Structures are given as C-alpha cells and as structure tokens.
Amino acid sequence: MLRNVRKIMPEFLREILRVLKPGGKAFLLDMTVPSSLWLKIPHGIYLNAALPLIGRAVFGGRWAGNYLKDTIQGFWPPKEFSQILQDAGFRGASFNTLTGGMAALHICKK
C-alpha cells in the first residue's frame, strides 16, 4: 500500500502520526525490490515478463500490471524508507525484509 501513496507520502505519514497514541506503533508492509542480485534478476524477469503474461491471461484488457511493476520498482529501498520515517518524526524506525527482500515490514513508534 505504501507504494500507492508515494506522491503524498509526507501527508500520509503526518496522518499516521496524528492518529497514533503516544508510544503507539505503526506496522507498514509493502512489496520491494530485493537487494540481492541472485533474487533481483529473477524478480525483475517475473515483474517485467511473467506477471504481465499471467495478468493478461487472467484479466484480459483490465490488467494493470504496469502500475504494479512501476510502483514496486519506483519505491524507496527499505533502508532509505526507514530514514524517511525517522525524518517524518517517528522514533525507532526499523525494518525486516521478508521473502528474500521482496517485501519489507517497517515498524516505528510515535
């Protein structure tokens, strides 16, 4: 979901801070590009070739695969996004990569 609000990220993060109780935690999960070359290459092939074929076969003309690919590849790497969280006013921002780096879970406090 985070990659879908990249253009309004400052407002999005301010709203999360506003609704969190003092000391409350935010857990933010999204898809990312793996940092390992061994996973980055097959992940890129999947996003750029296999996923569009599957999507068009299943959804036909309604397939929005380019949007999915573009938002995953255009989002900040997990380490950089953790710094963005810190800069936005969250405390203790950290992340764990999942599925070999194809997803990242960010945890931070108000």
Residues 19-65 have pLDDT tens digits of 999 999 999 999 999 999 899 999 999 999 898 888 888 888 777 77
d(CA 36, CA 110): 31
Tell which residue, 103, 106, 105, 107, has the closest CA to residue 39. Answer: 103
Q: What is the pLDDT of residue 68?
A: 85
Tokens of 63: 């397939």
pTM: 0.85
Residue count (the chain)? 110
Statement: 2-109 belongs to CATH 3.40.50.2300? no
